[in-house]
Amino acid sequence: MQAIQVGLRAGLSAAVIAAFAPVVAGCSSSPYPEVRVELASAPATPTPAAPEAETLRFSVAAMLSPQDTFSSYSRVLERLGSALHVRVELVQRRTYAEVNELLASGKVDAALLCTGGYLELERKHPGTTEVLAVPVIRGESTYRSYVLVPAGSRARTLAELEGKRFAYTDELSLSGRHYVVHLLREAGRDPGAFFGSVQYTGSHDRSIDAVVRRVVDGAAVDSLIFDQLAATHPELTAGIRVIDRSPPFGAAPVVASTRLSPARRTQLRNALLSLSADPEATAALRVVGFDAFALPGPHLYDGAAAVLETSR
């Protein structure tokens, strides 16, 4: 009798274990470490800013996407800071206009502006900035506007894109918008009604990407960025055909706020001009497609200004 009771007890225990094993296993701890945190506790207070060394706030207009700009220009600005013995902070904004506002309000000290953006800034806030240097690309300080269509598109001219989807880069972009508007105006077409739809991509690389993906039927972009992309990623540009090339325009200038002291501006100009002597800086400039920086010629932006005049 005792043996039967022992057997029954063992069987009952086994049954309980069997029944609750999955429940216990279901409540088992996760394979990751556990930390107790009171989520209702006081929020974290911002870390007090440490007294920093002198900082030069430098902006780059959104000719490239913010991420590409960050990855491309961080190294260049680091070398520039090294030459100036200051920390250079990269400040980005989504549009050319926002960068212009930063310059006009003195919130940045210098910037690499798009030609169109620079001319607009000079128009709206004359004397706010001073051109320090212009990039040199394959011996030239000019660039063009390319009108792109997908390789399979039937369009051979801008006129054949009528009623199609078109991508502008920025409201103020010379190569990304003003040149196309200029062409349409010269052709007697209404830029506001010529295309079926228009969208602003915010940067030239996104416009190229939109054409590759056939999100749009055409786009106007900076020739420097397109050529740089064709050199580094030919597979991306293989699906694109250029149906129009503009005359050369003055390349995007590096400007300094006139709020900076003339001495500081001179230092900055000299540092830019001497970057090509720094091998690391030269390598960083090659990433963005520049060979070096040079002093601008006297009528470098006349052509661009004329285009802008007709496109407004």
Per the CB < 8 A criterion, the answer to whether 111 and 258 are in contact is no
Tell the smallest beta-carbon distance from residue 185 to another protein (Å): 32
CA 109/CA 127 separation, integer angstroms: 14
Tell the smallest beta-carbon distance from residue 23 to another protein (Å): 5
Neighbours of 238 (CB within 10 A): 11
Closest CB to another protein among residues 65, 175: 65
Residue listed under structure tokens 């506001």: 192
Tell the smallest beta-carbon distance from residue 95 to another protein (Å): 9
Q: Phi first, then psi: give them for residue 54, nearest 5 degrees.
A: -55, 135
Tell the smallest beta-carbon distance from residue 53 to another protein (Å): 16
Closest CB to another protein among residues 4, 263: 4
Tell the smallest beta-carbon distance from residue 239 to another protein (Å): 23
Per the CB < 8 A criterion, the answer to whether 141 and 251 are in contact is yes
Closest CB to another protein among residues 10, 277: 10
Q: Using alpha carbons only, give the angle 190, 196, 202 rounded to the nearest 5 degrees.
A: 90
Closest CB to another protein among residues 21, 187: 21
Residue 3 engages another protein in binding (rule: CB under 8 A): yes
DSSP three-state, residue 104:
helix
Show contacts with another protein in window 18-77 (CB under 8 A): 18-47, 62, 65-67, 69-71, 74
Residue listed under structure tokens 């054949």: 160
Closest CB to another protein among residues 41, 190: 41
CA 182/CA 309 separation, integer angstroms: 9
DSSP three-state, residue 187:
coil
Residue 138 engages another protein in binding (rule: CB under 8 A): no
Q: Could you say which of 79, 93, 177, 265 contacts another protein (CB under 8 A)?
A: 93
Residue 97 engages another protein in binding (rule: CB under 8 A): no
Residue type, 267: Q
Tokens standing for residue 23: 């429940």
Given the rule CB under 8 A, which of 91-99, 207-215, 273-281, 289-297 is the region that contacts another protein?
91-99
Closest CB to another protein among residues 70, 310: 70
How many angstroms separate the Cα of 222 from the Cα of each of 58, 168, 235, 253, 269? 21, 11, 19, 14, 24
How many angstroms separate the Cα of 36 from the Cα of each of 24, 25, 40, 41, 66? 22, 22, 12, 12, 37
Binding mask 186-225 for another protein (x = CB under 8 A): ----------------------------------------
Closest CB to another protein among residues 34, 190: 34
Tell the smallest beta-carbon distance from residue 171 to another protein (Å): 16
Count residues contacting another protein (CB under 8 A)?
A: 50
CA 193/CA 213 separation, integer angstroms: 24
Closest CB to another protein among residues 10, 159: 10
Nearest to 132 by CA among 108, 101, 111, 116: 111
Closest CB to another protein among residues 17, 151: 17
Q: Which helix (H) or strand (E) holds 245?
A: strand 240-245
Question: Which residues make up the interface to another protein (CB under 8 A)?
Answer: 3-4, 7, 10-11, 14-15, 17-47, 62, 65-67, 69-71, 74, 91-94
